Structure 1
Amino acid sequence: MFGSNFLNKYLNRQFERSSAIGSFTLCVLSLSACSTNQESKHVVLSSNQNVTQTNYGDVSNVIIGGGMRSCSSMGSKEFMQEANSRYCLQGWSKILREDIAFTGLKASDVSFEPAITHPAFSYRIDASSIEKIRALSEQLMAKQIKDKVIAKLIQVREAKPETALSGMSWKALVDLLASQDISPAIQLKNELSTLAHSALRHSLVEPLETATQPRLLQARSVKFLSDRSSSAIYQTFLEATQRKADQKQPGSKPKIGIVTASAENPFNDRDISYYAFKSLGADVVWLPIEGGLRQAIDQQLCEFAPIFYADYANRGSLRDYSHMDLLYPDLAAQQIAFCKNNASALNQELMKLDGIFFTGGNQTRHLESFITKQAMYSVSSSDGVSEQLRLLRKQYAEGRLVVAGSSAGDAVQSGGQWRGRPVPMIGGGDSVKVLRHGYGQIDGPEPEAPGAKGSFAKNGGLGFFRFGVLDSHFSQRAREARLVRLVADSGVDYGFGVDENTALVVHASAADGSHHMRVVGAGGVFVVDARQAKLQSEKLAAFKIENIMIHYLNQGDSLTMTQAGDLQVQLSSDSKKSSQPMMKQAITAERIQDSGSFRFLKLIQKMGEDGADKGIGSTGREQNSDASEFALTIRRTSDSELRINTEGNLSYARLRLDIAPYPSNGVVIDNTLR
């Protein structure tokens, strides 16, 4: 059954398979009847019928591994008439006419450029800007520093002609303030906090010449999305929220809140998420909370929300995100309105939600939007938790809210307690780096990059998924080892790694207290079960663990978490078992934790093809480093199971994984897997 061409076909199906659409058209919920589509197998006949019929009760979570395909206006100018532009079934002229999300919009209202470009901002020193600095709260700029800055600016105005004090670049203004020619000289980098620095820039920036023109919108359509896997994931979440809405008022539209806080520029991500869910027929509200607004709400300095945003957005960022309030004035105004009166308007919106969706980016930014940094280190589960998170947790616990998220929105759902231990949240880290150096506590947002050090939030994310550690972009970025390490280090039982364009769908507790989970989408879900694992007990020794049980599930496979906390795996009975008899043989491979290589998955595939009972892969050694190389040994036992489903996708259950410094097991890895 495992033919020689199987792997290439498998990977193509697994991660790109849904581009071939033909006559396929997804039947999207628009609160009106639509026809059955036999090919998609995801159907909505009316507002109160299921997308996919199950007997597992309401959906509580949709955990998406990122990488969802999108029918987006960005970069589609040449595809106004033609179909198939960036996963679109039709050209954008027709999409704008027929998708209910864009009612009232014209092509001239929408951006079709490949990327958002930011203008060069200019600065001036005049009486108005000085007064803005005077009006700053001392929580933004200490009085002593403020007096010194104002004195300098007044001296500059007296010494320079007015024409020389406008249209300046920020660098020119910084150099002017540092000049010894006019005292007092001010070294902004050394003398001002980052928050005060942002406040000064905000006070001195000149208005944009285009300020009176409405900004162009970034459009995204799900109704005309050609990728069936992404469509099925959207539809699964929508149907779950529809059930919540019907329970409150039959036939009403589901209300979905979107949180874009994980992005360095959450304003930029607002449109695409907003219009995607509008395209599905939902009532959508953008929740403009982010790390900066968190501080503005907590201090009730709402008029200074743009300053808090700029200060927070630029932490750990490779770009400058100052003055986004000038580029997105409508969205910045929403932030201020939601901040006022102790965020009462924001809290009211949260209580109306049937579903909430956390977008991709950096999960630490999501987390710091709902808790204080002190809460990451606190032993109390309530310290530093915002009123907004309390409300969401209450809604979720009462079964009135479906929580979904992609990429960072996957990882941040974890948290809570499992068998008396906190369930941590992965922050970042490359698998090989994490094996060698372990994890450190998150200290603010950091850019994710190959070779990044491991970071985690010990007390977890937002606390909507307590069954184990969550990870995303899984097979694509070879994250098997990083998930195993955090599960082992934290002492929890389980970890769940979700592939791109794939969702782990979690159902609410059944009558017997169990929770059912299933897979929807193009890829699979990797599951770590560490209950029988043996971890190296010597603290200073290199990481070593034995007898981790691993599973990999595709659409059609499922999991059940019993009330007692035992995980049961059910591979689809429609899939075929490996017919190769198992024999004592080792398949070996190099660099199986290289991002983008899929070599962990390929190694297990080769084991199935050859009937081998063992696969051994090395991690490789870092350049110019004496750090240990590791071997990952995968073992088949009598209860192991490898299956291929009807679409040619590999699933497996109850394989064993050992990780140890290489070559401690004495096996020479000669790269049998090519």
Structure 2
Amino acid sequence: MKISIKPNFSALSCLLFSLLISTLLLSLYSSMALASTAVNTDATPPVQTFDLMMVGGGLVTCSSLSRQNCVPGSQFTADAKQTSVYRLTHSALERAFKHPSLSGLTAPQKAILLHASQQQGVAGSSLSYQAFYDAISAVEKDFLTDLNDQVYYALLDLLEDEQAITSGINRQEHVMLSATQNQYGAQIFSLFTQQALLKKQQRQPQAKRPLIAVVTASARDPFESIDFYTQVFEQAGADVIWLPLDSALQAAIAQQQCDQLPALREKIQGNVDRARLYPVATALQQSMCVSPDSLYQQLLNIDGLFLNGGDQRLTLSAWLTPQKKPSKALDIIKKRLQQHQIVIGGTSAGTAVMTAQYMVTGGTSHGALTYGVLAAEAPSERCEESHCQSDIPATAVTYSTAGGLGFFPFGVTDTHFSQRERQVRLFMLSALSENKLGFGVDENTALLVDLRNHKVSVVGEHGVWVVEQSHVTQTPLSYSGVMHYLTAGDNAKVDEVTQSLNHIQLLSADKTINKQADVKREFNAWVDKACVDGQNDIDLGQAKLIIKPQSQQECDQIKRNGQHYQNINIQLILVNH
């Protein structure tokens, strides 16, 4: 990991020196891990030209925080962070109560927390989140779920333990990309790195390693996943920098309020007390706020930019001014993207935010059928489990009419797709958008986009669902369109005039359907039944879904390959609307 900013205050210099020693040790550890279990590059798809990598989330990766993803026998050093822990003690609570973010706690609420701490004793002072939750719930069952977002997250942040190894150095999450059991995620990271190198070689033909920047602004706590992403791309073969660009930094630069960064983190990004756990990273953000030209120079130098998952609204605000206008940082990236000088990737929220069309911000397919698709601010994600106050139901589909960052011009984007059965929500939302195209990317899967040639292709474990020419009629209220499901090796071109895919090429070789229990294939089963019966009418309660192949040819393809398909008509008729 490279940190090229040199803050002009001595305390930070000491911290940076400590971080350098830690990073060198971590690099040595990572190199040893790679030497023992090399990434299976033979299985990595051939490099092709693309400008965007849009991942559906769920990139399975072996790390010390996700040991279930590692091959049996994988070992991490004792310094590896294995979980976040919380200190529920009287002294920790007294310190937390003094923070302004908890000024709304009542005396009875403070008494509940203090009582919970007394039940733990010294031995139980450092707790996992589940143990922390259980300890408080044992005193007052709904205490945490009844807190509003501001107080709930502030309490977690203020009570999170440092897990210090040495002075100024805390435990880091360790990654072993090569030890991941399911190698699709590792291949996707490697493919992105290879594409970044190709972009760099346009300028420096002899280059061996690209420079990739990671922006973690999608997370409420952008500092938490720095170690994960920098190690992933280092092990994939890149030089990596973390750019501390988030909504708080953007606001501080625009308003010239760098001295207010901690307050802006709390107000806009939603985190507090981060300098205690991440002194080097927060100091770097402070330095870049004072000298934003260093940020812009980094954006001019990088070959790849990767956006993490979380909340796409936070990512969007990181690149827009407080007046919702494109920032200088966004202007730089868009210009370089238009000139095909950089590859941009994202996962989950990092994919959803790329759209130039309506940007989905929340909700489920069932919520779309029940409450409709609303151009409104999404309620908190905690509303599904807590008693939050919101005018919008927790499952209602919400979207931003202003769209996202505008990198992807071809339609609405959605993620975690088949796994969370989001076909109906994307179908309804895309029908309302100007483009009428929707792309839903499954987990551990990526849609590759060649902007110059309007070409899309798929890599990874599952597939990408595409709905085209979608439109809505009012009497009765119904949605109609044509759908395709592309899997690894499939590609097509986007016709922006007809708002459809053409020149669709489905890989002819037989494919093995992944039978993992977490992948719901009910929708594909409905398509299979439509091929057998000529048409499949599905009762969804609030609506009737009609699936009908355009011709026998489409069904013959399904019989040969059993997974992907094209040119299947879809209609959704809502009842009682």
Measured in 2, the distance between the counterparts of 1:207 and 1:599 equals 43
Matching residue's letter, 1:26: V
5 Å matches for 1:585-604? 597-604=520-527
Among 60, 63, 66, which residue is 2:57 paired with?
66
2:198 aligns with: 243
The alpha carbon displacement at 1:313 in A equals 3.6
1:231 aligns with: 186
Among 46, 60, 77, which residue is 1:52 paired with?
46
5 Å matches for 1:600-639? 600-608=523-531, 611-620=532-541, 629-638=542-551
Measured in 2, the distance between the counterparts of 1:447 and 1:373 equals 23
1:480 aligns with: 423
Measured in 1, the distance between the counterparts of 2:71 and 2:383 equals 30
Query: Contact conserved, 2:47 with 2:194, CA < 8 A, in 1?
Result: no
1:536 aligns with: 473
5+ residue gaps, structure 1, are: 1-22, 29-36, 43-50, 77-84, 94-106, 134-139, 141-148, 150-167, 173-193, 315-320, 376-383, 416-422, 578-594, 621-628, 665-674
1:554 aligns with: 487
Query: Contact conserved, 1:642 with 1:650, CA < 8 A, in 2?
Result: no
- Partner-residue secondary structure (3-state), 1:602: helix
The alpha carbon displacement at 1:373 in A equals 6.0
CA deviation map 1:530-564 (0-9, x unaligned): 26x4x2236xx7x4123x10111111211112474
5 Å matches for 1:262-277? 262-277=218-233
The alpha carbon displacement at 1:238 in A equals 1.3
CA deviation map 1:350-392 (0-9, x unaligned): 11111111111111111111114653xxxxxxxx221111111
Matching residue's letter, 2:367: K
Could you say if the C-alpha distance between residues 197 and 344 of structure 1 is closer, same or farther in structure 2, counting changes exceeding 3 Å?
Answer: farther
2:39 aligns with: 26
Q: Would you say 1:308 and 2:264 are equivalent positions?
A: yes
The alpha carbon displacement at 1:304 in A equals 2.5
Among 510, 513, 520, which residue is 2:459 paired with?
520
Matching residue's letter, 1:68: L
Matching residue's letter, 2:84: I
The alpha carbon displacement at 1:86 in A equals 2.1
Among 466, 491, 499, which residue is 2:434 paired with?
491
Among 280, 290, 306, which residue is 1:357 paired with?
306
- Partner-residue secondary structure (3-state), 1:235: helix
Matching residue's letter, 2:254: D
Could you say if the C-alpha distance between residues 444 and 454 of structure 1 is closer, same or farther in structure 2, counting changes exceeding 3 Å?
Answer: closer
Measured in 2, the distance between the counterparts of 1:278 and 1:243 equals 17
Identity in percent:
28
The alpha carbon displacement at 1:123 in A equals 5.1
Instruction: With the length of structure 2 as denominator, give the TM-score of the two structures.
Output: 0.74
Query: Contact conserved, 1:217 with 1:271, CA < 8 A, in 2?
Result: yes
5 Å matches for 1:182-201? none
RMSD between aligned residues: 3.8
CA deviation map 1:214-272 (0-9, x unaligned): 10010123233332321221122111101011112123221111111111111111111
Matching residue's letter, 1:526: W
Could you say if the C-alpha distance between residues 523 and 660 of structure 1 is closer, same or farther in structure 2, counting changes exceeding 3 Å?
Answer: same
Q: Would you say 1:654 and 2:570 are equivalent positions?
A: no
2:79 aligns with: 109
CA deviation map 1:59-79 (0-9, x unaligned): 101111111110111264xxx
Larger radius of gyration: 1
Could you say if the C-alpha distance between residues 638 and 401 of structure 1 is closer, same or farther in structure 2, counting changes exceeding 3 Å?
Answer: same
1:574 aligns with: 508
Matching residue's letter, 1:551: H
Instruction: With the length of structure 1 as denominator, give the TM-score of the two structures.
Output: 0.64
5+ residue gaps, structure 2, are: 1-35, 104-109, 115-148, 385-393, 512-517
Query: Contact conserved, 1:198 with 1:307, CA < 8 A, in 2?
Result: no
Could you say if the C-alpha distance between residues 643 and 212 of structure 1 is closer, same or farther in structure 2, counting changes exceeding 3 Å?
Answer: farther
Matching residue's letter, 1:398: Q
- Partner-residue secondary structure (3-state), 1:456: strand
The alpha carbon displacement at 1:502 in A equals 0.7
The alpha carbon displacement at 1:493 in A equals 2.3
Measured in 2, the distance between the counterparts of 1:414 and 1:424 equals 7
Measured in 2, the distance between the counterparts of 1:662 and 1:495 equals 24
Measured in 2, the distance between the counterparts of 1:372 and 1:262 equals 16
2:27 aligns with: none
Could you say if the C-alpha distance between residues 89 and 254 of structure 1 is closer, same or farther in structure 2, counting changes exceeding 3 Å?
Answer: farther
Q: Would you say 1:278 and 2:209 are equivalent positions?
A: no
Mean Cα deviation higher: 644-653 or 219-228: 644-653
- Partner-residue secondary structure (3-state), 2:409: coil
1:48 aligns with: none
Measured in 2, the distance between the counterparts of 1:66 and 1:124 equals 37
More helix by share: 2
Matched length: 481
Could you say if the C-alpha distance between residues 640 and 425 of structure 1 is closer, same or farther in structure 2, counting changes exceeding 3 Å?
Answer: farther
Among 282, 304, 310, which residue is 1:332 paired with?
282
1:118 aligns with: 86
Mean Cα deviation higher: 227-236 or 472-481: 227-236
Q: Would you say 1:501 and 2:437 are equivalent positions?
A: no
Could you say if the C-alpha distance between residues 75 and 227 of structure 1 is closer, same or farther in structure 2, counting changes exceeding 3 Å?
Answer: closer
Matching residue's letter, 2:326: V
Measured in 1, the distance between the counterparts of 2:526 and 2:335 equals 44
Matching residue's letter, 1:301: Q
